A and B are shown apart, each in its own frame.
Chain A
Amino acid sequence: MAEFRMPSLGADMEAGTLVEWLKQPGDAVHRGDIVAVVETDKGAIEVEIFMAGTMGKQLVVPGTKVPVGAPLAIIEGAVEVAPKTPAPEIKAPAARPAPAEKSAPPPAGLRASPAARKRAAERGIDLAALRGSGPDGAILLVDVEKAGAAPRKGLDLDKMRRAIAAAMAKSKREIPHYYLSTTIDMARAQGWLAQTNASRLPEQRLLMAALTLKAVALALRQYPKFNGFYAEPDGFTPSAAIHIGSAIAIRGGGLASPALHDCDKLGLDEMMARLRDLAARAREGRLRSSELSDTTITVSSLGERGVESLYGIIYPPQVAIIGFGRIVEQPAAIDGKVEVRPQMIATLAADHRVTDGHLGGRFLNQIAVLLQEPAKL
């Protein structure tokens, strides 16, 4: 027997509100199953479980706000599976459950996607009254959308802004950042991308982001000191897995950096597919718990907004953030001659408690080297 607890989904999270249970007492649960939906500052998060067993007594009813670490349910016959990465240290307040704000538990036995359940709860739509178009009659988001009713609630951007403020202020207070930059010749990467996409249908095309993310992931294999977590009193703990948080702007303000898991093992097509999926879900406020808690390093790109270079603030407990700027046609000296070349500034902000500029420079340079052979990414 073990307890399934409210997970920490970031250094800035102290509590979450249980929106709904997706497994009922008596249901078998397996590692990686999504068992609940929790409302946080980052939207409604699908919470996965990292043990196997049977869902036992549920200790918290939907609508209740509980602190990080509070038991949510009992898992009978549980086989514990070690988390993939250490959870960030969070000091949860000794809170007591807040009164339920809304939402009744979904009807037992009703098949509906998490997104459909969330949207229905937001709009006050009775799922039992809908006809599902999914497998075995499951109610999908589109079915709820068709049901009309109230306007979409969307993300609470004010709440998200407060969460970002807390995390960034903590980072600037506690992490001694150092900053480096390098200019990368992007002619080969651009040429390879244009040639590759020319013969592909739109749904199969790649973006430069897929190449830069893969280059960072492969470079991290050689420079693991930028991939992991820092927490007192133990200091730095490297992560064996490379889960890159891709900074995604939320229209109207706000930012999410959900993890692309095992980036170094993904082909570019798989990377692109996951990036598309992740961006769509981030903007709908439908991320999963592991996507918020597993990130081992963050990559931010602002080139499309005309930014030539950006120096990021590390998201604790991570120890580094990479920034990519706009690709700009600029004169460059090549073999003693001046040529106009597409160039991009890559930056590194890293935690001086873990690494020094010398190693940071080598890491950045390795990213540049990898981008010179895009076909091998």
Chain B
Amino acid sequence: MSEDDIRAAVIAELGNIAPEADAATINPESDLREELDIDSLDFLNFVTALHKKLGVNVPESDYPRLLTVKGAIAYLAAKLGSARA
């Protein structure tokens, strides 16, 4: 899966969680909790959706690495890359 595919998946899931916001225009380095006004339940739904869509099981200890779009893409790319290796 390419980085663009991962980005598209991340943006799509954020759009599902916060449909009021335009997920595509989020600053990739902004904190998602502030940018989209999401709480721990929203974040759990985000992680759950990523697991179902991409097969990546993000442990709670890694949650801080997914708090920005940029961080989430980098984390998922690394996980998917290592899964293929």
User: Using a CB–CB distance below 8 Å, which chain A residues touch chain B?
Assistant: 152, 154, 194, 197-198, 201-203, 205, 207-209, 249, 251-252, 275-276, 279-280, 304
Neighbouring B residues of A198 by C-beta, 8 Å: 59-60
Neighbouring B residues of A275 by C-beta, 8 Å: 41
**Is B60's CB under 8 angstroms from A197's CB?**
yes
Q: How far in angstroms is the closest Cβ of chain A from B52?
A: 7
**Is A205's CB under 8 angstroms from B41's CB?**
no
The residues in B between 32 and 57 inclusive whose CB is less than 8 angstroms from any CB of A are 33, 36-41, 44-45, 47-48, 50-52, 57
**Is A251's CB under 8 angstroms from B57's CB?**
no
Neighbour of A202 across the interface among B20, B37, B40, B57, CB < 8 A = B57
**Is B48's CB under 8 angstroms from A202's CB?**
yes
**Is B60's CB under 8 angstroms from A203's CB?**
no
**Is B60's CB under 8 angstroms from A276's CB?**
no
When C-beta atoms are compared, the residue in chain B nearest to A252 turns out to be B20
- A191–B51 alpha-carbon span in the complex (Å): 24
Number of residues in B with C-beta < 8 Å to the partner?
22
- A251–B23 alpha-carbon span in the complex (Å): 14
Besides A198-B59, A203-B52, A251-B18, 17 new A-B residue pairs in contact (Cβ under 8 A), listed by A number: A197-B60, A202-B48, A202-B50, A202-B58, A207-B40, A207-B41, A209-B40, A209-B41, A251-B21, A251-B36, A252-B37, A275-B41, A276-B41, A276-B44, A279-B41, A304-B33, A304-B40
As a 0/1 sequence over residues 8 to 20 of chain B, the CB contacts with chain A under 8 angstroms (1 = contact) are 0000000000111
Q: How far in angstroms is the closest Cβ of chain A from B32?
A: 13
**Is B51's CB under 8 angstroms from A201's CB?**
yes
Interface class of chain A by DSSP:
helix
**Is B60's CB under 8 angstroms from A251's CB?**
no
When C-beta atoms are compared, the residue in chain A nearest to B42 turns out to be A279
Neighbouring B residues of A209 by C-beta, 8 Å: 40-41
**Is A201's CB under 8 angstroms from B57's CB?**
yes
Neighbour of A205 across the interface among B21, B52, B60, CB < 8 A = B60
Neighbouring B residues of A249 by C-beta, 8 Å: 37, 39
Q: How far in angstroms is the closest Cβ of chain A from B21?
A: 8
Q: How far in angstroms is the closest Cβ of chain B from A252?
A: 6
**Is B20's CB under 8 angstroms from A203's CB?**
no
Neighbour of B47 across the interface among A152, A194, A202, A304, CB < 8 A = A202
Neighbouring B residues of A251 by C-beta, 8 Å: 18, 20-21, 36-38
**Is B39's CB under 8 angstroms from A154's CB?**
no
Neighbouring A residues of B21 by C-beta, 8 Å: 251
**Is B51's CB under 8 angstroms from A203's CB?**
yes
Neighbouring A residues of B33 by C-beta, 8 Å: 304
Q: How far in angstroms is the closest Cβ of chain B from A43?
A: 14
When C-beta atoms are compared, the residue in chain A nearest to B50 turns out to be A202
Q: How far in angstroms is the closest Cβ of chain A from B34?
A: 10
- A93–B8 alpha-carbon span in the complex (Å): 52
- A249–B42 alpha-carbon span in the complex (Å): 11
Neighbouring B residues of A203 by C-beta, 8 Å: 48, 51-52
